[in-house]
Amino acid sequence: MKLFKQALLTIALIMIFSVSQAQQTTSFTQYHDNQIPFNSAYSLLDKAGSVNLNSRRQWAGIEGAPYTFQLNGSLPIEKINGAAGLSLTYDKFNIEKLTEVSAFFAKAVQLSDQNFFSASLSAGFRNYIASYSEVDPNDISFRTDIRETVGTVGLGVMLYSPEKYYIGASLPRLSFRSLGTASADEKRNYSNTYYFSGAYLFTLNEDVKLKPATMVAYSRTYDTQADISATVYLKDKFGFGVNYKTTDEVAGVVSVIFNNSLKFGYSYQTGFGNANIGRISKGSHEISVGIRFGKKPLQPKLL
């Protein structure tokens, strides 16, 4: 019985790590409403201060499935057409835990009456823990845990017109220093990932707007992944959208906006490919909350 249990645990661990390698980046189906975790230059699209929270539980119903919590906030610096803020991300995947904290500064220059170019710089750290000993403390193969902390810097640029469009590119996490027991497979945990994103807000009539958006994640270590989405907004208060991810996953997204200052969002994602683990789970659930504040009356923000 003990041997059987050890075999099951070993197989489960192999599956976890193989899926982990395919899941190289933090991913949110509501990425188009809050780009700060991926490109902090996006913070300049809003002249108000903001606090944003995202909570994602992937593959519900499977023990040890990924869970991600993301919290960020920014404040405008109007005198220099800039913004500054903080970002916190916590990822848990079975025996693996990853915590990232960073502070950022962004500055924009006006190119024309409607168009701006912004750049951002961030700095922080990430802490990675893999508790192998939790798998089977009696097996010498799993006695050595991994604990590693590295400093990070991030860069981002964005061309945009407020409430009209944005096009961005970023490298949000460039690890530059190792401070602990390093992983033997650093490229799996600390592969630099580049993000390319874009969105456009069409006004179809006085009450209806349409926002197509996309984000591509590229790394030399992993397969390129892309999200493609479209959202319809009614009276600047209700949003209904769909999202497709190239890992054979599709999601529905709904959002509600109150007084241009409070936004709630929910999405449900499921997989449909033969190789997609979403077929044997209860899908992935994501909740978002956004709060905006400022001295001036708040204008609608859908982009």
Token output for 213: 């958006």
The set of residues, in sequence order, having a beta carbon less than 8 Å from that of 17 and lying 6+ positions away, is none
Cα–Cα dist 26/147, whole Å: 20
- Does residue 141 contact residue 102 with C-beta atoms inside 8 Å? no
Q: What is the pLDDT of residues 164-210, one digit of tens each?
A: 999 999 999 886 544 444 444 444 445 788 999 999 999 999 999 99
Alpha-carbon distance 293 to 214, whole Å? 27
pTM of the model: 0.83
Residue 41: C-alpha distances to residues 18, 50, 76, 84, 266 (Å)? 33, 14, 12, 10, 25
In the predicted structure, residue 19 carries a pLDDT above the cut 90: no
pLDDT-derived band of residue 274, with 50, 70 and 90 as boundaries? low
Look-up of token digits 């040890």: 64
Of 197, 219, 186, whose CA–CA distance to 22 is shortest?
A: 219
SS3 34: coil
C-beta pairs of 33-37 under 8 Å, 24+ apart in sequence? 33/255, 33/263, 33/265, 33/288, 33/290, 34/72, 34/288, 34/290, 35/166, 35/168, 35/197, 35/215, 36/72, 36/74, 36/85, 36/87, 36/104, 37/70, 37/72, 37/87, 37/89, 37/172
Report which residue type is found at 34. Answer: N
Listed by start position, the domains of the chain span 2-293
**Cβ–Cβ under 8 Å, residues 195 and 169:** yes
pLDDT band at 219 (very low <50, low <70, confident <90, very high): confident
Nearest to 44, CA basis, from 189, 152, 160, 124? 160
Percent of the chain with pLDDT over 90: 60
Residue 3 confidence (pLDDT) above 50: no
DSSP-derived letter for residue 205 is: S
**Phi, psi for 299 (deg, rounded to 5):** -90, 155
Asked if 291 and 50 touch (Cβ cutoff 8 Å), the reply is: yes
CATH 2.40.360 fits 2-293, yes or no: no
Please report the pLDDT score of residue 190 as a whole number: 59
Indicate the length of the chain as a whole number. Answer: 303
pLDDT value of residue 123: 96
Q: Hey, how many other C-beta atoms are within 10 angstroms of the C-beta on 214? A: 17
